[in-house]
């Protein structure tokens, strides 16, 4: 079953009613745009409300984050880069497990939330996935890229940089929108999308009284695996996990209707 309920998720699987294939919201009929239209993917505006809303949500706290941590395994002593760390929940969990964690994000608002969570001593930097990263070659044992790659049309530059900062044999642990879930949501909404195409889609996120257009890129599984291998990674794991068991007690209504669902796809990749 495809998850398309009312729980808001980072990057898809929720709020399907807001989804559209337009890159930007349409221009009004009178041709006049608002004085200050919201920027696409503006996490600075959403940072505080987004952090609060997703702190203990079914999809984030009991599905997506536990899946990443399970794939990471024993993190004690490992140097880990949290790429697109947001407000830092995975950073905190990995640090609690003994990892030496560095995080970066392009949103200063989200990094402010991370600093409140993690303290002033946390190694947090402003950087954008897909641009040159401020880290030396081979600096990390693992890179976590949780729900960030699907914001990019071209994965090549981002994967090349993540490969560069990993030591030989290091791991990239990534999660993205499940391509079949997004394809199914678009089909349910009456849009004739092509599963085998790479295409842009948007939806409006409404949080804390703010409405922000969010833009994502869906691509088929083979396009993902081709991008990983072209960047020098060996695919070790492809995972479609379930929520953790305690989720059934905390969210009985949602999980009674759909005990299993597609939402995100998880990978463990090793740098060649």
Q: How many residues does the chain have?
A: 272
List residues bridging with 210 in a β-sheet.
207
Cβ neighbours for 111, distance < 8 A, ≥ 6 positions apart: 85, 105, 124, 126
Q: Is the pLDDT of residue 26 over 80?
A: no
Is 248 in a helix, a strand, or coil? helix
Residue 8: per-residue pLDDT:
36
Phi/psi zone of residue 169: left (φ > 0), alpha (ψ -120 to 50 degrees), beta? Answer: left
Query: Tokens in use for 25?
Result: 């919201």
Q: Is the pLDDT of residue 129 over 50?
A: yes
Residue 3: per-residue pLDDT:
46
| Rounded Cα–Cα distance for residues 157 and 151 (Å) | 13
| Pairing mode, strands 210-218 and 264-271 | unpaired
Give the C-alpha distances (Å, rounded to integers) separating 158 from 75, 83, 127, 146, 163.
24, 10, 12, 13, 9
Average pLDDT over the chain, rounded to an integer: 89
Lowest mean pLDDT among 14-18, 38-42, 72-76, 112-116: 14-18
pLDDT digits 0-9 by tens, 65-115: 999 999 999 999 999 999 999 999 999 999 999 999 999 999 999 999 999
Residue 158: per-residue pLDDT:
98
Residue 75: per-residue pLDDT:
98
Q: What is the mean pLDDT of residues 15-44?
A: 55
Reported confidence tier of residue 29, pLDDT bands at 50, 70, 90? low
Question: How many percent of the chain have pLDDT more than 70?
Answer: 87
Q: What is the mean pLDDT of residues 209-216?
A: 95
pLDDT digits 0-9 by tens, 44-76: 999 999 999 999 999 999 999 999 999 999 999
Q: Crossing angle of helices 108-118/43-54, nearest 10°?
A: 40
Q: What is the mean pLDDT of residues 3-29?
A: 39
| Rounded Cα–Cα distance for residues 260 and 257 (Å) | 9
| Rounded Cα–Cα distance for residues 263 and 132 (Å) | 30
The closest of 126, 145, 141 to 64, measured between CA atoms, is 145
Handedness of CA 65, 72, 131, 181 (dihedral sign): negative
pTM recorded for the entire structure: 0.88
Is 34 in a helix, a strand, or coil? coil
| Rounded Cα–Cα distance for residues 162 and 138 (Å) | 10
Contact 165, 159 (CB under 8 A): no
Residue 194: per-residue pLDDT:
95
Give the C-alpha distances (Å, rounded to integers) separating 30 from 24, 37, 203.
17, 15, 23
Cβ neighbours for 253, distance < 8 A, ≥ 6 positions apart: none
Is 196 in a helix, a strand, or coil? coil
Q: Crossing angle of helices 108-118/89-96, nearest 10°?
A: 30
Residue 37: per-residue pLDDT:
74
Q: What is the mean pLDDT of residues 32-54?
A: 85
| Pairing mode, strands 166-177 and 264-271 | antiparallel
Residue 102 belongs to what H/E stretch? strand 100-105
Q: What is the mean pLDDT of residues 138-152?
A: 98
């Amino acid at each position: 079953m495809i998850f398309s309920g009312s729980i808001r998720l980072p990057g898809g699987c929720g709020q399907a009613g807001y989804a559209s294939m337009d890159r930007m919201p349409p221009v009004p009929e009178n041709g006049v745009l608002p004085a200050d239209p919201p920027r696409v993917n503006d996490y600075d505006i959403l940072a505080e409300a987004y952090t609060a809303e997703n702190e203990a949500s079914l999809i984030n706290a009991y599905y997506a984050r536990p899946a990443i941590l399970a794939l990471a395994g024993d993190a004690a002593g490992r140097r880990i880069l949290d790429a697109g760390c947001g407000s830092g929940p995975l950073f905190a969990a990995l640090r609690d497990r003994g990892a030496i964690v560095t995080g970066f994000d392009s949103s200063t608002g989200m990094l402010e939330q991370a600093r409140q969570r993690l303290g002033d001593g946390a190694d947090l930097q402003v950087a954008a996935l897909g641009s040159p990263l401020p880290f030396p070659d081979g600096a990390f044992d693992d890179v976590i890229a949780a729900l960030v790659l699907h914001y990019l049309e071209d994965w090549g530059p981002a994967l090349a940089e993540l490969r560069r900062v990993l030591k030989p044999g290091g791991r990239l642990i990534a999660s993205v929108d499940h391509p079949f879930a997004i394809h199914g949501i678009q089909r349910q909404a009456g849009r004739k999308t092509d599963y085998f195409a790479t295409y842009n889609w948007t939806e409006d996120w409404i949080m804390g009284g703010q409405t922000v257009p969010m833009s994502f890129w869906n691509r088929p599984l083979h396009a993902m695996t081709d991008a990983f291998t072209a960047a020098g990674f060996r695919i070790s794991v492809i995972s479609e996990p379930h929520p953790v068991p305690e989720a059934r007690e905390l969210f009985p209504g949602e999980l009674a209707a759909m005990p299993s669902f597609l939402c995100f796809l998880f990978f463990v990749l090793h740098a060649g």
